[in-house]
Structures are given as structure tokens and as C-alpha cells.
């Protein structure tokens, strides 16, 4: 991502999610964190940014203080006029390959299970007792083990690491 202007990423995210995206629960989960460079990628065509994926260091915290590091995946976004052309799959596959030996925690995300389950092995089975710092639909709170990191199954709050 280093050679992509941050403003280009922000403009693409505005186009994909709307400029009111900052109020979303996903932003609160990783508040104050920097994206993980080795798990964040850009798709570029003819010098223009057409897609982006970013991952963030977050954690699951139980009431008695146990902390399990996790990696939050997303936003994943493709320029609206180029969606459904396979770019999202390429970005996710690229990130998952990097995560196989580069992630320092299991993966979690908020997304459509119809997409992230079908292609990328995410599901909501482990997240039933998880809580987030804002409103969310439990069926869209997805997770997946990776790189030997298992998912915490019990109750816990997800937040910045
Ligand atoms: C979600 C997103 C990243 C997917 O990228 P994309 O390049 O448009 O998708 P792809 O072409 O890789 O998708 C391939 C398949 O997934 C399906 N698909 C795409 N988005 C889907 C969704 N939200 N739910 C279910 N299926 C979906 C497509 O229909 C396609 O299936 P097919 O091959 O059977 O036709 C992109 O559509 C996007 O930026 N959306 C707006 C932002 C967003 O919602 N991001 C996700 C939350 S972080």
C-alpha cells in the first residue's frame, strides 16, 4: 500500500461505503490502530486505485482480563463501477495467502456470510458470545482460524489491541 496516496484509499472507501462510514462499528473496533502493512493491499489498474483491503490489530478481551490477539479484516472495497468483476476475490485471496504465515492472530470481520463464507472460509460459529463496541448483526460477525491461531469461543469484547 505504501506507494498509494492515502487520499486515494479514502476516496475509494467513500465511494464504496458512503461518506458516513466513520460511524460504523467496524471503525470503533480498531480505533487508534494503524493498518498492518503486510496484510493490507491495493489493486491498481493503469495507475489508478481500483480496490483496497486493510487489516488491523484487534483483540478479544474476557471479563476476567484474558486477551486473545485477533486480526480484523476490512474494509475490503472495489470501485463501484468495477464490482462483481473478481477484484474483491483477488484482494481477499492475496491477503489470506499472506495471513497463512504472517497473521499474529485469528481473523475476524463484519461482512456478508454469503460472500465471505462461500469463498473464504469465514463463519459466525465462534462469534456467538462475542460483543462489539456498537450495533451489529450477529450473523455478520465472522471469524476464521489462520496460521495456527485458534478462535476464542467464549464471551468477550472485541476492541483495539
Ligand atoms: C464486497 C466487494 C469487496 C466484493 O468485491 P467484488 O470485486 O465486487 O466481488 P467479486 O467479483 O470478487 O465477487 C465474486 C462473487 O461474489 C459475489 N458477491 C459479491 N459481493 C457479494 C455480497 N455482498 N454478497 C453475496 N455475494 C457477493 C458475486 O456475485 C460473485 O459471484 P459469482 O461469481 O457467482 O457471480 C465489493 O463488491 C465492494 O466493494 N462492495 C462495497 C463495499 C463492501 O460492502 N465491502 C465489504 C464489507 S468490508
Query: Hey, what's the cell of 96?
Result: 489470506
Instruction: Tell me: pLDDT of 34 over 80.
Output: yes
Nearest CA to ligand 1 atom 25: 115
| Number of residues written out for the chain | 161
Instruction: Give residues (CB < 6 A) around ligand 1.
Output: 16-17, 74-78, 83-89, 111-112, 114-115
Give the tens place of pLDDT for each residue, 92-121. 999 999 999 999 999 999 999 999 999 999
How many alpha carbons fall within 13 Å on the CB side of residue 86?
A: 0
Task: Tell which one of 24, 82, 83, 94 to mutate to probe ligand 1, the residue whose CB is within 8 A of the most ligand atoms.
Answer: 83
Instruction: Tell me: pLDDT of 1 over 60.
Output: no
SS3 assignment, position 69: strand
Distance CA 118, CA 16 (A): 21
Instruction: Tell me: pLDDT of 15 over 60.
Output: yes
The CATH class, in words, for 6-160 is: alpha beta
Mean pLDDT is lowest, of 2-6, 88-92, 100-104, 121-125, for 2-6
Beta-bridged to residue 123, according to DSSP, are 143
Domain boundary assignment for the chain: 6-160
Query: Would you give the distance in Å from CA 64 to the centre of its chain?
Result: 26
pLDDT value, residue 94: 97
Between residues 6 and 125, which one has the greater pLDDT?
A: 125
Give the tens place of pLDDT for each residue, 61-85. 999 999 999 999 999 999 999 999 9
Amino acid at each position: 500500500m505504501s506507494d498509494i496516496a492515502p487520499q486515494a484509499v479514502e476516496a475509494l472507501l467513500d465511494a464504496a461505503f458512503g461518506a458516513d462510514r466513520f460511524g460504523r462499528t467496524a471503525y470503533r473496533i480498531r480505533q487508534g490502530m494503524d493498518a498492518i502493512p503486510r496484510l493490507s493491499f491495493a489493486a491498481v489498474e493503469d495507475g489508478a486505485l481500483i480496490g483496497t483491503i486493510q487489516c488491523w490489530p484487534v483483540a478479544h478481551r474476557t471479563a476476567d482480563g484474558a486477551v486473545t490477539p485477533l486480526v480484523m479484516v476490512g474494509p475490503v472495497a472495489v470501485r463501484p463501477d468495477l464490482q462483481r468483476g473478481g477484484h474483491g476475490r483477488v484482494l481477499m485471496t492475496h491477503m489470506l495467502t499472506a495471513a497463512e504465515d504472517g497473521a499474529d492472530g485469528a481473523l475476524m470481520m463484519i461482512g456478508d456470510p454469503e460472500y465471505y463464507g462461500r469463498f473464504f472460509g469465514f463463519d459466525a460459529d465462534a462469534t456467538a458470545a462475542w460483543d462489539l463496541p456498537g450495533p451489529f448483526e450477529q450473523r455478520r460477525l465472522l471469524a476464521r482460524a489462520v496460521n495456527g491461531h485458534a478462535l476464542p469461543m467464549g464471551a468477550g469484547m472485541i476492541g483495539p489491541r
